[in-house]
Structure 1
Amino acid sequence: MVASSPDPAPAPGLVARLRAAGCVFAEDEAALLLGEGLGPDDLEARVARRVAGEPLEQVLGWAAFRGRRVRVLPGVFVPRRRTEAMAAVALELLAGRADPVVVDLCCGTGALAVVLGGSIPGAEVHAADLDPVAVACARLNLPARAVHEGDLFDALPPRLRGQVDLVACNAPYVPTGRIALMPPEARDHERRIALDGGADGLDVHRRVAAAAPAWLAPGGVLLLESSEEQADASAAACAGAGMDVEVVTSPGTGSTVVVARTPDAAAGWTTGRS
């Protein structure tokens, strides 16, 4: 869900349609749709999209992420609540750092960049994605000059090489063979490039881990969202690139984040977690 229910109270007929379509939180969704203040025709068009299975966030055109509204275009990966845990880790690591350079890699909507840039005074924030649709969406949420289109670190301005304090990366990590098992909202309405991580789900993680040390500043940190079953392999890829690694889990959200530091970072950067 994108947020708690606003006024006005949902109409019973609308709730019934959404519930019949399989929407578990039908009352909340109806209230959110009504809260957009749409005319009857526009409301009906959006309800029809939702009933047809399109993610609510794409239907509304926005998602809530750590208390902020982030624009979401059709087809773009919808920010997950579990990714808020990675944002929290990033904010903890960056606390007290003066004017850090931060990169949201595989940015999708740019939700991580929005939160980090809006929470850290003086931060220089960049976002990058290979998908032009995601880039267009991120440019609705961030200054256009801060959003770059291209393949991982190759998208970034060359001047950032060796200068980045923190990279937050929610790369695709679903194994190719499991995409067909994903909920229809994801597999049918989010672009495959944002989901498919290769045979074991970690093709992009390995590439990011191998390239990150060249872009990180001394004491820099790479954050990778992973899954509990994949975290050891993600961590091994980072360790193989010469970084010190820990895995941070948040059982309440189902979040698993691999935290990889350049070797001299251990004394100055810590999550304070086990």
Structure 2
Amino acid sequence: MNELVARLRAAGCVFAEDEARILTEAADGDAARLEELVAARVGGLPLEHLVGWAELDGRRWLVAPGVFVPRRRSELLVREAAARAVAGADSGPVLLVDLCCGCGALGGAVAARLLAAGHAVELHAADVDPAAVTCAHENLKALADDGGLGAGRLAAHTYTGDLAEPLPAEVRGRVDVLVANAPYVPTAAISMMPPEAREHEPHAALDGGDDGLAILRRVIDLAPALLRPGGHLLVETGEGQVRAAVGHLTAAGLTPTVLSDEDLGATALAATLDPPR
């Protein structure tokens, strides 16, 4: 194990000990398979694509090669979205929408928290990437079938398409919580990302345009038509983008709150659609 950790650390893996444990688990006692996995990881392939899963909020989510890998910093969105959903919940299912859903981990993790708290959930998740939507379908099906969280209390639907375009008309104006981990890396900054991201994840899941806010602005513009009065939008962003994003949220008629978690290295925004006066 020490030799394995040393090889991973020499390749630039910051969490070499954790990665060594995960790769060893994935090899399941097969020395040749372990060597194959380690060589691929040292060669720059994402750990999550090699082992087939990524962890978010204490749960493993299926991730296929070429699909965006959820980051631990998104646990800030999970935590805050679930708290707002619980605070505003009535006797019916929480209506949750996840745009730019990727493998479905973000919306699924919010739903898992709500199910654990005793709430039924209706979840709609959409992404432009068919491979990501395939993963999302499998992940949300597994969550719906998880008897430990109360099977039968999650109705999950996945769609391939641009942002809210594929969502059914009946969800519009009724959404309790809308989450979106939209791409927010400025185009010019993608070349400075780690190779495992820029070379193995789809650029559409990373590229936020010239200032990183091109997709996020579109999500914000869609939110008032999707949310019910008092409903919430939660999005992730870069620290340097907060001022511009807050301005766009305010202009769209939403009341924003800036969220941060230093331990996770995360910055996010929550915004509420205030009821008409």
TM-score, normalisation: structure 1: 0.88
Partner of 2:240: 229
Partner of 2:177: 166
1:155 pairs with one of 157, 166, 177? 166
1:101–1:26 distance in 2 versus 1, CA, 3 Å: same
CA distance in 2: counterparts of 1:213 and 1:232, whole angstroms: 20
1:250 pairs with one of 261, 264, 272? 261
TM-score, normalisation: structure 2: 0.87
1:88–1:149 distance in 2 versus 1, CA, 3 Å: same
Structure 2: which amino acid aligns with 1:73?
Answer: A
1:118 pairs with one of 83, 91, 112? 112
1:54-92 Cα distance to aligned partner (Å, 9 max, x none) = 111111111111111111111111111111001110111
CA distance in 2: counterparts of 1:38 and 1:190, whole angstroms: 29
Cα drift, residue 265 of structure 1: 8.7
Partner of 2:21: 31
- Report the RMSD for the aligned CA atoms in angstroms: 1.8
Query: In structure 2, the residue corresponding to 1:264 is in which secondary structure?
Result: coil
CA distance in 2: counterparts of 1:207 and 1:112, whole angstroms: 19
CA distance in 2: counterparts of 1:229 and 1:247, whole angstroms: 12
Query: In structure 2, the residue corresponding to 1:222 is in which secondary structure?
Result: strand
Cα drift, residue 38 of structure 1: 5.2
Structure 1: which amino acid aligns with 2:123?
Answer: V
Unaligned runs of 5+ in 1: 1-10, 267-274
Query: In structure 1, the residue corresponding to 2:199 is in which secondary structure?
Result: helix
Query: In structure 2, the residue corresponding to 1:230 is in which secondary structure?
Result: helix
1:108 pairs with one of 96, 102, 106? 102
Cα drift, residue 13 of structure 1: 3.1
2:136 pairs with one of 135, 138, 151? 138
- Is the 2:259–2:270 contact (alpha carbons within 8 Å) kept by the matching residues of 1? yes
Cα drift, residue 119 of structure 1: 2.0
Q: Does 1:14 align with 2:1?
A: no
- Is the 2:19–2:47 contact (alpha carbons within 8 Å) kept by the matching residues of 1? yes
CA distance in 2: counterparts of 1:265 and 1:28, whole angstroms: 50
Partner of 1:57: 48
Q: How many percent identity over aligned positions?
A: 48
Unaligned runs of 5+ in 2: 143-155
Partner of 2:228: 217
2:83 pairs with one of 73, 86, 92? 92
Q: How many residue pairs end up in the alignment?
A: 256
- Is the 2:79–2:110 contact (alpha carbons within 8 Å) kept by the matching residues of 1? no
Partner of 2:58: 67
